[in-house]
Amino acid sequence: MQVKAAVCREFGKPLSIETLELAPPRRGEVLVDLKACAICHSDISYAEGAWGGDLPAVYGHEAAGEVSAIGSGVTGVVPGDHVIVTLIRSCGQCHYCARESLVMCEEVFPFDKQGPLTLTNGVACEQGLRTGAFAEKVVVHESQLAHIPPEMPFDVASLLACGVITGFGAVVNTARVSEGQSVAVIGCGGVGLNAIQGAALAGANPIIALDLSSDKQTASRSFGATHTFNPTDPDHGKAIKTLTEGRGVDFVFVTVGVEAALVSASRYITRNGSIIVVGMPSNGVRIPYDPGKLAAFNQKIIGSKMGETRLRHDIPILVEHYQKGRLKLDELITARYRLEDINEAIAAVNNGQALRNVLVFK
């Protein structure tokens, strides 16, 4: 079948709107008619060449839509179901899946060898981030889907597919922040604000937001931050120590893949404190640390991929939080764009003008 998509043909150049061929779903696979796809910094980083990869490619991985067809053996969804579409592809049986680390699944799927997208001349087109959701339709493995209620708006639901689960999950699943613990979040974009929301729901205090943008600092307060600082302020480190009785915070969540943010994180943590690395830096970024201090102070540096999400467990909880007014999603959307205007939407993100911009399909 044919599908309209935004194609990256050269890193760092505008995406082009093209018609591609999309293969039908095979065993275990599902065709989803997309209704919305949020633009994540990971998509932009790939399109800019920060992590390499094959071209041409279609990126986009934070999506929601309606199931329109299923392959043989699919049991979890039926046509007509409303779902979110994620990059988390899992077999449920391998070494990591058996330990409920679905984001680390080691199975090699047919899509990992040959994706469902081709150009009209038959040349393969990469299914970026295992999803390829800057397109009208996607074919993905059924493990990449989670149900959403029919009444939930697709544009709002799409945020659950990455930005929310990554930030919220880093707090709840990876760090397991508990009531009364102190938290700092570096970077208050979409992922950072959801880390703040997770910390607030966990009962953390104080919750300290650090961002260069005064607008994002203001936004962070509405999502649960108790204090905000610009990290370039020479007195902000002293202020954070004062807020934590001179010790520093229990957890620092670095939600941006920026070297300076990663380097600065260790200055904020207490003894027994942890740095949770959530944002993905470009290939080749390295940061120094003092292993003697790390050991002597019992400090930790921990990675968190996609918030260690278990879709079928975590998404219903997040949906319930949203429905009961405990989780802000509508407020995360800055603007909505047509697929044809994707380059404008990306430019707004790069200029710091957006929390989350969302592509909306008819």
Strands (E), the chain: 2-7, 16-22, 29-38, 57-58, 62-70, 82-85, 117-118, 126-127, 137-141, 145-147, 183-186, 207-210, 227-229, 249-254, 269-277, 300-303, 333-337, 356-360
**Spatial contact of 230 and 215, defined as CB atoms under 8 Å apart:** no
What is the model's pLDDT at position 294?
95
Question: What are the pLDDT digits (tens) for 90-146?
Answer: 999 999 999 999 999 999 999 899 999 999 999 999 999 999 999 999 999 999 999
pLDDT reported for residue 49: 95
Q: Which sequence spans correspond to the domains of the chain?
A: 2-161+329-360, 167-305
Residue type present at position 226: T
- What is the topology classification, in CATH, of domain 2-161+329-360? Quinone Oxidoreductase; Chain A, domain 1 (3.90.180)
Six-digit token string for 289: 């640390």
* CATH number, span 167-305: 3.40.50.720
Run of H or E including 316: helix 311-323
Mean pLDDT of 14-37: 98
Taking the alpha carbons at both ends of the chain, their separation in whole angstroms is 18
Containing 29, the helix (H) or strand (E) segment is strand 29-38
Summarize pLDDT for 144-183 with one digit per residue, the tens. 999 999 999 999 999 999 999 999 999 999 999 999 999 9
Query: What are the contacts of 149-154 at 24+ separation with CB within 8 A?
Result: 149/82, 149/319, 149/323, 150/82, 152/82, 152/319, 152/322, 154/35, 154/36, 154/64, 154/65, 154/82, 154/360
Mean pLDDT of the chain: 96
